Copies of this chain bind each other. A is one copy, B any other.
Amino acid sequence: MPFTPRCLDSIRAECAQFAAERDWDQFHSARNLLLAVVSEVGELAEVVRWSGDQEPPITEANRQDWEDEMADVFILLVRLADRSGVDLTSAFARKLQKAREKYPVEQFKGSSRKAR
């Protein structure tokens, strides 16, 4: 599913402004935000916890909740990066490059095993 084009940094800036308007930076320490991420991942899990493994677990009935909770995880993760001094774009690029080296196509094609 393609995403509507938007600069990741403008999303960061909008989240930062949302927090600043409410004077919430005081609550947004790294460990507070990490626990908030955990909390939102828990809400995302709640949406599909009883779905069983039939596919797809996302139905017309739960799609709105699924999208909202996923957005919450995303917002808190962006805040966490911003507040703990992480350039998420650069961290992403560097990590994907590491993953390319750790999981070369010829050795891991079609396999879900972990790299040693």
**Cβ-defined partner of A36 (8 Å) among B11, B49, B94, B108:** B49
Q: A52-B53, A92-B11 are in contact. Are A38 and B41 (CB under 8 A)?
A: yes
A residues 81-98 touching B (CB-CB < 8 Å): 81-92, 94-96, 98
CB proximity of A112 to chain B, nearest CB, Å: 4
Chain B nearest Cβ from A12, distance in angstroms: 5
Residues of A within 8 A of B (CB): 1-9, 11-15, 18, 21-24, 26-27, 29-32, 34-46, 48-58, 63, 66-68, 70-75, 77, 80-92, 94-96, 98-100, 103, 105, 108-110, 112
> How far is B6's CA from A75's CA once the two chains are assembled, in angstroms?
17
- Chain B residues contacting A67 (CB-CB under 8 Å) are 86, 91, 94-95
How would you classify the secondary structure of chain A's contact residues: helix, strand, loop or mixed? Answer: helix
Can you give 17 contacting A-B residue pairs, CB < 8 Å? A1-B83, A1-B85, A2-B9, A3-B9, A3-B90, A6-B8, A11-B89, A11-B92, A22-B109, A31-B35, A32-B52, A39-B46, A53-B54, A70-B84, A71-B88, A71-B92, A75-B95
